[in-house]
Every structure is written in C-alpha cells, then in structure tokens.
Amino acid sequence: MTILAFDLGGTAVKFGVLTTAGEILEKGKFKTPDTLEEMMQSLVDVKANYDYTFQGAAFSCPGAVNNETGIIGGASAIPYIHNFPFKQLLEEKLGLPVTMENDANCAALAEVWIGAAKDKQDIIFMILGTGVGGAVIRGGKVHHGANLHGGEFGYMLMDRDGHTLSELGTVVNAATRIAGRLEVPKAGIDGLRAFELRAEGNKIAKEELDTMFYYLARSIFNLQYALDPELVVIGGGVSERADFIQELIDYVAKVKASVPIATISPTVVGCQFGNDANLIGATAFHLA
C-alpha cells in the first residue's frame, strides 16, 4: 500500500507517492492554482495519473491546521483553503481518507520518523527563513497547543524594545540590516552575501551576524530549559551550511557559559531532509 502526499505551498504544490516506510517512489509538482476549483481539479488529476492503490492522502498545509474538524484557520498565501471544511472536500473529491497537518509540523515529523531526530521522543524543530517557525514534538507527537500555535518561536520577545526572534534571529533580517547600514539596496545583500562580507572583514556584517547568532542561541537556551528536549533540529535553507550549524553550537555554548548554574547543554543538529520533508512528514502523520 502507498500514500499519496501533497505539500501545499504558496507558489507550488509538491506531490509524491510514498511507501509506509517513508520512501518516495515518485514525485512532482505543479504551480499553485488561483482558485479552489482549479486546485481540486489539479489534485484529482495527479491521483488519476497513478495506478497505485492508495491507502489515503496526506496533506501538508500552511496555517492553523485542525485535522479533527477539517478546517484550516489563520491565513496564508493560499487564501481559499482557509476557514471551511477543507478536509471533507478533499475526501469527497479524491475518494480517499485524508489527513492534514501544518507544514512546519510535517517537517518536524519527517525528522523524528526517519531523519536527524529518529528514535527521539522530545525535540524542538526550528525553521529559519524570513521568520522563525517550527514545531514542538513531545512523546513522539506534535504538541499543537491550545490555539494550534505550538512552535511559533518567532513571536518570542528578545529584548526590552519589543523585537521578536523573527526580527533578530534570522540571516534574512540580518542581511536586511546590513544593507541598511551600508546604504545599499536590500536586494543587493542576501544571506550568502552577508557571510561573504563578514569573511572579507566587513565590521557591519560581523556585528549583525554576531547579533543574529546571539539571539538565536539565546532562544535555544531558553527553550531547552523551558521544554527540556532531547534535541534541537534546525531547518531552513541556511541549515544546509555545515559552518552555520557549528557556529550556532558555539554560540549556544557561550550563552550557557554565562549562566553558571546551567548544567544542561542543548544538542543542536541540522535537519536531514530538505524539499521533501513535508511530504515525508505528512505521510508520517497519516500513518500515526
């Protein structure tokens, strides 16, 4: 038996046929449709193109996903999937049992199932992009929270001026600050260029990246003592840089050293899966 998995994104919908062991047999993608009707037809067409016997359909979705009610709250770049019984419509159109889970939670579940956090029961998964998102896994399951906002680490306030972790703890926003201080267009400095400037000896780039690492490390230290995970897994494009993970580990150690009574050192690792994580995690959720 196989699972038909979909990852609904703002620009593209990824899909795949996965085994119950998480192996991807086939995969593809299509441009995210402009309307709900077009989305439904595209999903039906994907299913029709395969001859597999599907056990069900697993969806990774943006927003506050409630698999029990079938409704996705909040807002996203796909506005037409929100605030109505979306799951029930999917089951009707696809003729399969459907499960839905938040995209960040799916990425975390992929790592717990067969990735960097395999065999771990309690982890924090942080996704670094424009902001900081993620998931909390407790007892091997997603901790959604009372308002389905578990893992929204980016909202954490990091200083007395009200700056959030999303503002202070991402390479994207560090690059924006570097561009502003150098008085160059924001488009001229991305994350990669920020690290290049630092390597070239640019003091502003060094200051802003130091600030980014410090606040990100501080948040990890705080989360370690608040939730006591076995592992902190870092995802997002920047996590693919081995030197980024090591530098973050070094900064976490510095933060810990500043608190003499702290005896626990957070264990920080990079994620194993990239673009396929949500498909794998959606499948894991479906099979749970």
- Judged on CB neighbours under 10 Å (0-12, 13-18, 19+), 137 is buried
CB 268 within 8 A of CB 117: no
* Per-residue pLDDT at 218: 98
Helices 36-48, 86-94: crossing angle, 10 deg rounding: 40
CB 8 within 8 A of CB 31: no
Please give the Cα distance from 279 to 283 (Å, whole number). 6
Superfamily of the domain at 2-108+275-287: ATPase, nucleotide binding domain (3.30.420.40)
Could you give the residue range(s) of every CATH 3.30.420.40 domain in the chain? 2-108+275-287, 119-270
* DSSP secondary structure, 236-271, as one string: SGGGG-HHHHHHHHHHHHHHHHT-TT--PPP-EEE-
- Judged on CB neighbours under 10 Å (0-12, 13-18, 19+), 169 is buried
* Per-residue pLDDT at 279: 98
Contacts of 176 (CB under 8 A, 6+ apart): 186, 189
CB 81 within 8 A of CB 48: no
User: Phi, psi (5° rounding) for residue 152?
Assistant: -85, 65
Domain 119-270, what architecture?
2-Layer Sandwich (3.30)
pLDDT in tens, 30-81: 999 999 999 999 999 999 999 999 999 999 999 999 999 999 998 899 999 9
Q: What is the mean pLDDT of the chain?
A: 96
pLDDT in tens, 75-122: 899 999 999 999 999 999 999 999 999 999 999 999 999 999 999 999
Taking 90 as the threshold, does the pLDDT of residue 241 lie above it? no
pTM confidence score = 0.91
- Grouping H, G, I as helix, E, B as strand and the rest as coil, residue 23 is coil
What whole-number percentage of the chain has pLDDT above 90? 93
CB 47 within 8 A of CB 54: yes
Measured between its terminal Cα atoms, the distance across the chain in Å is 15
How far apart, in Å, are the Cα atoms of 216 and each of 63, 233, 244, 273? 24, 13, 12, 21
